[in-house]
Amino acid sequence: MSKPLNWRLAAVINGFQDTLAYKSEFFIEFFSSAIVPAVIQLLLWYSMFKLGGAEKVAGQSYGDLIAYTWVSVLFSQVRGGNIDFDLAEMIRSGSLSQYLLRPIGAVEFFFFRGISTKLMVAVICLVVGLAVCPFTELSPLRILGAMVLALIGNLIAYQIGAALAASAFVWEEAYSVLMVKNLVVQLLSGELIPLYLVPENLSWIWKSFPFYLYVFGPTQYALGKWTHQEFIHNIELSFVWILVGWALVHISWKLGIKKYISIGG
């Protein structure tokens, strides 16, 4: 195996081992971040349709929204992660110095180490998604495609997080930038509510960011609400966002590292 592939694989394996070292934590976290928000969303639909008496909301029936919630759970688990917080903390605490001495990029190393958890989650979600296909109208091919989009979304999410984490080079409280980003992403990714509920005159807000590719996009495709052409178009768009993300990471870290002072590191 070539050396570049070797360290990347080692980082992924290292991440797997880290995750599996605390299995109960992993499953509590998995359960809490998957089921609880979904249940809250379902209760919200209940109140709108059963208590509020609505028959259709933004052209969607009660059943449509329930389906959205359950399917979006599969993809909301794959998005994000807290690796960007680790990067910011590493810069703040000075432990970045160890990585500067190594012939590998810190941003890339953290990505590979962190992706293992998300890969594991993606496999679990994919298996669950495929398992329910025979009992629902979901297509296995669409579930697979949607998961690919969700994983691409994870990469974009990491790139944006890493670029924002670079603010730790100049500001000690950079974690707050990441917290704000997470709050915005929660709303604009379609994790809290399907984005078609956003009034039409405000829809430009979520369309201007790549966040909808994390959850809303994959869910729409899996549910058959996006055509294959729309899906391919969004895959193309996601590659443009990856390029933008790459440029953002490259520029922010290049500028940031010039300001980095490691004392005693």
d(CA 162, CA 45): 35
Stretch of residues binding other proteins (CB under 8 A), selected from 197-205, 218-226, 236-244, 252-260: 197-205
22 binds other proteins (CB under 8 A): yes
**Number of chain positions touching other proteins (CB under 8 A):** 38
CB 19 within 8 A of CB 117: yes
**Choice between 158 and 196, CB closer to other proteins:** 196
d(CA 34, CA 36): 6
Whole-number CA gyration radius for the chain = 20
131 binds other proteins (CB under 8 A): no
CB 91 within 8 A of CB 165: yes
Task: Give the alpha-carbon dihedral of 182, 184, 185, 186, to 10 degrees.
Answer: 90
Stretch of residues binding other proteins (CB under 8 A), selected from 91-99, 125-133, 136-144, 192-200: 192-200
**Choice between 62 and 246, CB closer to other proteins:** 62
The encoded tokens of residue 94 equal 């000075």
Looking only at residues 46 through 85 of this chain, which bind other proteins when binding is defined by CB under 8 A? 46-48, 50-54, 57-58
Query: Residue ranges of the alpha helices (H) in 94-139?
Result: 96-100, 106-132
**Choice between 106 and 185, CB closer to other proteins:** 185
Binding-site ranges for other proteins (CB under 8 A): 22, 24-25, 28-29, 31-33, 36-37, 40, 43-44, 46-48, 50-54, 57-58, 171-173, 176, 179-180, 183-184, 186-187, 192-193, 197-199
